[in-house]
Amino acid sequence: MIVALSLLSYALTLAVAGPRLLRAGSWADRSPRLAIAAWQALTVTVLASAALAGLALTFPTMTVSADLAELLRACVMAIREQYASPGGAAAGATGAVLSLAILGRTMWCLGSGLAGMARERTRHSRILDVVGHTDTHRDVVVLDSAEPAVYCLPGRRRRTVVTIGALQALDEAQLDAVLAHEHAHLTERHDLILGLARALASAFPAVALFRTAAEETARLIELRADDAAAARSGRLTVAAALLAVATGSIALAPAVALAAGGAGAAARVRRLIPPHQPLGSARTAAGSLAVAALFALPVLLLGGPAAAAAGQNLCPDGYVSTSTTAL
């Protein structure tokens, strides 16, 4: 019971305080890659803690033993003991429902999210096959449209698409920067990272944490890809390329361009203009450790009491176990 409650309160604390911590200061903008990992760790840990809390309620005692028969017997004893009382049975049932609901909902939304992504991509790709021209020199697909747009289709048949409008708006160095940006999206599988974040947000719409995580992830993968492009082409070139593509679309289709939300683009250009100040290696290491600690804590919560109780014999007399442990 105590383990379940501490796991639940850990999940709650993280869900409330986590986003505030991750958004404090400018460290995320300076090291978007670490920030993406931190958001992933935060959401997965909250989810896992809540699911594990349910598990801890359902199976109060687990045994660590070399002998399988012995382990099963000890387990059965402990479970029987708990379920003999109505309160214990209710807690166990609640825990099971909690765990299964969280796991089921997550799996369902993740599965349907990924399937939808694949379907949409296939449909888009089929049309692209017919109407796009392949530029083998640059390894891109060119679309006959005056609207400047650059995007990529991740997945097994990954491709980068550039419109004629974008080719006209960009000079050679800027185009190189844009392609490096898309290349980073493709090789680092940002689509899966964002797909996971969005699946969680749609699975638990009431949890603000998941919504915030999805929004932040969408923003951070762009910053990360900008950094990758800047490493190749220089920050000012990337900034100029962003401006060229973003302002080009205003002249032609203001409604479409602005409906897509212009704030992100301006913030990205602003970030690229001053010289880059990446996080120092000490702070990056500290951040990475903090991210790892997020994951480790629920495991310790589960394993700590188990270790403390090691050697105790929780089973009825007449049954001797060398290493039964309680959670």
Partner 1 sequence: MPKFGDLESAIMEQIWRADGPLLVREVLDGLDRRLAYNTVHTVTEILHRKGWLTKEREGRAFRYGAAAGRDKYVAGLVTEALSLTDDRTAALLGFVEGMRPEEAEELHRLLSAAREQDATA
List of residues contacting partner 1 (CB under 8 A): 113, 116-118, 120-121, 124, 127-131, 143-145, 147, 149-154, 161, 163, 178, 181-182, 185, 190-191, 194-195, 198, 202, 218, 221, 236, 239-240, 242-243, 245-247, 249-250, 253-254, 256-262, 264-266, 268-270, 273-274
Encode burial over 223-232: b for 16+ CB neighbours within 10 A, e otherwise.
Answer: bbbbbbbbee
Segment (H or E) for 160: strand 159-163
Minimum CB separation of residue 47 from partner 1 in Å reads 19
Q: Which is nearer to partner 1, 202 or 284 (CB)?
A: 202
| H-helix or E-strand spanning residue 162 | strand 159-163
CA 177 to mean position of chain CA atoms: 26
Do the Cβ atoms of 217 and 194 come closer than 8 Å? Answer: yes
Question: CB of 218: closest distance to partner 1 in angstroms?
Answer: 8
CB of 285 to partner 1, least distance (A): 29
**For residue 73, which amino acid is it?**
R
Residue number with CB closer to partner 1 (44 or 269): 269
Q: DSSP for 60-77?
A: ------S-HHHHHHHHHH
Q: Closer to partner 1 at the Cβ: 213 or 221?
A: 221
Distance in Å, CB of 248 to partner 1, minimum: 9
Tell me the residue ranges of DSSP E strands in 175-233.
Answer: none
Q: What is the closest distance, in whole angstroms, from the C-beta atom of residue 132 to partner 1 in the complex? A: 8
- In angstroms and rounded to an integer, the radius of gyration of the C-alpha atoms of the chain is 26
Positive or negative CA dihedral for 82, 87, 91, 92?
A: positive
| Closer by beta carbon to partner 1, 53 or else 238 | 238
User: Taking the complex as a whole, how short is the minimal distance between the CB of residue 162 and partner 1, in angstroms?
Assistant: 9
Nearest CB to partner 1, comparing residues 62 and 200: 200
Using DSSP bridges, classify how beta strands 150-153 and 159-163 pair: parallel, antiparallel or unpaired: antiparallel
DSSP code for 280: P
Beta bridge partners of 141: 134, 161
Beta strand 140-143 pairing with 159-163: parallel
Least spacing, CB of residue 160 vs partner 1, in Å: 9
| Closer to partner 1 by Cβ: residue 168 or 313 | 168
- Which amino acid type is present at position 215? E
Closer residue to partner 1 (CB): 236 or 293:
236
